[in-house]
Chains A and B, each alone.
Chain A
Amino acid sequence: MMISVALPVVLPLLFGALSVMLWRSHFAQRSLGVIGTGAMLVVSVWLLADTWEHGHVVMEMGSWPAPFGIVLVSDMLAAIMVVLTGIIGFATAIYSLSGIGKMSEKFGYYPLLHLLLAGVNGAFLTGDIFNLYVWFEVMLVASFALLILGGERAQMEGAIKYVTLNLLSSMIFLTAIGLTYGLTGTLNMADIADKLSTVEDTGLVTVIAMLYLVAFGVKAAAFPFFFWLPASYHTPKVAVSALFAGLLTKVGVYALYRVFTLIFNQEVDFTHEILLWVAAATMLTGVLGAAAHYEFRRILSFHIISQIGYMILGLALFTPLAIVGGVFYIMHHIIVKANLFLISGITFVMKGTHELKLMGGIYRTHPMLGVLFLIPALSLAGLPPLSGFFAKFIIIRAGIEAEAYWAVAVALVVGLLTLYSMIKIWAEVFWKAQPEGVETDDVTSGPMVWMWVPVIMLALMTVAIGLYGEPIYQMAAMSAEQLLDPSQYIEAVLGESRQ
């Protein structure tokens, strides 16, 4: 038995509980924030090592055997996602040392942060479809509260859209689970996959698949359910935005990857054709939305959507190389996108605004920050030798091999428009002179140092993935191999109970 698969869930819960207990002390909460997320990062790397060695790591919670009890399962994709959660959680906790005010801490910022991370990790690791729903809810409850920390009008407005859409999606998800249970009589994902292959009524299976597609599509902000995201992500504290941007939509993408490789792989011609259209439309709408905006975080939010399109494209093409590309893309995207949001927080402290028109001249005063912005920005646009280039390259190559030429064309155009958007931010925020008549309160001293540390850390990772991408590619390749052969997963989960 390997406990590494449960620790990424148990640790944040424990640290969250401890920081509720020590709610009086800001110092204790901050320390627990950094130590807890740091420990989570360490155990998630441990889990990755275990998974790399054994293929699948399984634990039956409370010793209730699968398929009756709840199992935690880690395959390569889940382990990779958990490590990324660890990285972003740790980066956010450090950033929060100077990025989050005492007021937000008083209203429970740190316990919520731990709870959110526990929810995200739980969603990645669970092998039970209803438990997945529960972790989604844990994550959403924490994110609702984080979204409105600060209590400004714009935050409430964004939160209402966010909450409404996500509750709707949860309802659809729950309906789909009910139908699945009615059809197969089980909630264990491996068992569902096993039983669905013998179900005769494939029409109903496809209907259920579409329900899951809508439910997870909302969470992932895929076309046409994306509009809650740009309405809410630019309103909370920057550290919270970065955390959401890095992780939350990716849980939806992960769930899509999980169910559309493990469970719904019977009618690939039909379901994955729809995914292909969704992917292309998501890429286009996201990038066009970004082109129209002049608010730092809004532009970044729209780019999340267009990037989600690439990840779904990898799943939709459904070839080994395409899945590799999709997983690689997720890894690259989480690090880059969180970093861009963190940088927007630093420029906000410098200029007191997120409006591009009111900013300027930062390259003159802080050339270092300009470089730090360019690394993730150009990586996002897909310029070599940064991580984004290889991510896009693999997906586009897979698209050409699968002869989905129009989707490849869309992906290339979207890449170009992404570059346009990033150059726009660069030119407005860093390059052009500070607009006249706009007051700036340039505060760069003292506690801001904790905002720089994670930004530098994540930027270095982006470069490292680009220059030394082979191990990352190997991990992605292994996860693609596992995803396209669900029998390994089923054997890992159910085989143990048969012994």
Chain B
Amino acid sequence: MNMHSLILRTAGHFLLPLLLLFSVFLLLRGHDEPGGGFIGGLVAAAAIVLYLFSMDIQSARKVLRVDPRDVLGTGMVLAVISAIPGVFRGQPFFTAQWWEFTAPLFGEIKLSTVLIFDIGVYLVVIGSVLTIMLTLAEAEE
């Protein structure tokens, strides 16, 4: 899998944190503008995959720290749980709940169950793409 390219390896090191930051940006931007959990998750997964291509599987797993299947499971649980809070307010499942407050430095902040759902999707996409990629990469070796 290692392509032995100095350019790719150097670029991979620098691009990884940038791409991960960009994926979080896409995730948070997604509610009112283009972006969201799915595309953010794909960018994050692509960042790790780029790192995998430039280095090897062991270092890719190391930089990921956790097993991608755990990421997948956590994401799914988050996504399903985000459907529930509305029920406790006597509303149907999946009804969005909003909490607004102002914080110093940031100004007005809006938090919602939609964001939890999106984070869940973000993690599911990362988890499933990386499970597939790492399994394929391991099968090749």
A22 to B67, CA, bound (A): 12
Residue of A nearest to B70 (CB): A21
Q: Determine, out of B3-11, B18-26, B75-83, B102-110, the stretch whose residues face the partner at the interface.
A: B75-83
A20 to B76, CA, bound (A): 8
Give how many A-B residue pairs fall within 8 Å (CB-CB).
53
- Residue numbers in A under 8 Å from B79 (CB-CB): 17
Q: Check: A315 CB closer than 8 A to any chain B CB.
A: no
A213 to B33, CA, bound (A): 41
Render B57-97 as a binary contact track against A, CB cut-off 8 A, 1 for contact: 00000000000011011101101110110110011111110
- Which of A14, A17, A18, A63 sits near B95, CB closer than 8 Å? A63
- Which of B73, B84, B87, B92 sits near A20, CB closer than 8 Å? B73
Check A61 against B72 for contact (C-beta < 8 Å).
no
Q: Check: A277 CB closer than 8 A to any chain B CB.
A: no
Tell me how far the C-beta of A178 lies from the nearest C-beta in chain B, rounded to whole angstroms. Answer: 24
Give the number of chain B interface residues (Cβ < 8 Å). Answer: 21
Check B76 against A17 for contact (C-beta < 8 Å).
yes
Check A17 against B77 for contact (C-beta < 8 Å).
yes
A21 to B92, CA, bound (A): 26
A17 to B79, CA, bound (A): 9
Check B87 against A3 for contact (C-beta < 8 Å).
yes
Q: Check: A368 CB closer than 8 A to any chain B CB.
A: no
A55 to B96, CA, bound (A): 28
Check A20 against B93 for contact (C-beta < 8 Å).
no
- Residue numbers in B under 8 Å from A23 (CB-CB): 69-70, 73
A20 to B69, CA, bound (A): 7
> Which one of A1, A14, A16, A62 has the greatest number of beta carbons of chain B within 10 Å?
A62
- Which of B80, B84, B91, B92 sits near A17, CB closer than 8 Å? B80
A1 to B89, CA, bound (A): 11
> Which one of B69, B77, B96 has the greatest number of beta carbons of chain A within 10 Å?
B77
- Residue numbers in B under 8 Å from A61 (CB-CB): 92-94
A492 to B76, CA, bound (A): 32
A283 to B87, CA, bound (A): 46
A3 to B86, CA, bound (A): 11
A10 to B82, CA, bound (A): 11
Tell me how far the C-beta of A144 lies from the nearest C-beta in chain B, rounded to whole angstroms. Answer: 15
- Residue numbers in B under 8 Å from A22 (CB-CB): 73
Check A1 against B91 for contact (C-beta < 8 Å).
yes
- Residue numbers in B under 8 Å from A248 (CB-CB): none
Tell me how far the C-beta of A18 lies from the nearest C-beta in chain B, rounded to whole angstroms. Answer: 6
Check B73 against A60 for contact (C-beta < 8 Å).
no
- Residue numbers in B under 8 Å from A20 (CB-CB): 69, 72-73, 76-77
Residue of A nearest to B95 (CB): A63
- Residue numbers in B under 8 Å from A16 (CB-CB): 76
- Residue numbers in A under 8 Å from B80 (CB-CB): 10, 13-14, 17
Q: Known contacts A10-B80, A10-B83, A13-B80: does B90 contact A21 (CB below 8 Å)?
A: no
A18 to B79, CA, bound (A): 11
Q: Tell me which residues from 1 to 20 in chain A have a Cβ below 8 Å from any Cβ of chain B.
A: 1, 3, 6, 10, 13-14, 16-18, 20
- Which of B70, B77, B92 sits near A60, CB closer than 8 Å? B92
A25 to B37, CA, bound (A): 29
A3 to B89, CA, bound (A): 12
Chain B interfacial positions (CB closer than 8 Å to A)? 69-70, 72-74, 76-77, 79-81, 83-84, 86-87, 90-96
Instruction: Show 20 residue pairs from A and B whose CB-CB distance is below 8 angstroms, ordered by the A residue.
Output: A1-B91, A10-B84, A10-B93, A14-B81, A17-B73, A17-B76, A17-B77, A18-B73, A20-B77, A21-B70, A21-B73, A21-B74, A23-B69, A59-B92, A61-B92, A61-B93, A62-B92, A62-B94, A63-B91, A63-B92
Given A6-B93, A20-B73, A62-B96, 16 extra CB contacts under 8 A: A3-B92, A6-B92, A10-B80, A13-B80, A14-B77, A14-B80, A14-B81, A17-B76, A17-B77, A20-B72, A61-B92, A61-B93, A62-B94, A62-B95, A63-B86, A63-B92
Please list the 8 inter-chain residue pairs (A to B) with the smallest Cβ-Cβ separation, ordered nearest first. A21-B73, A17-B76, A20-B73, A62-B94, A63-B95, A17-B77, A6-B93, A14-B80
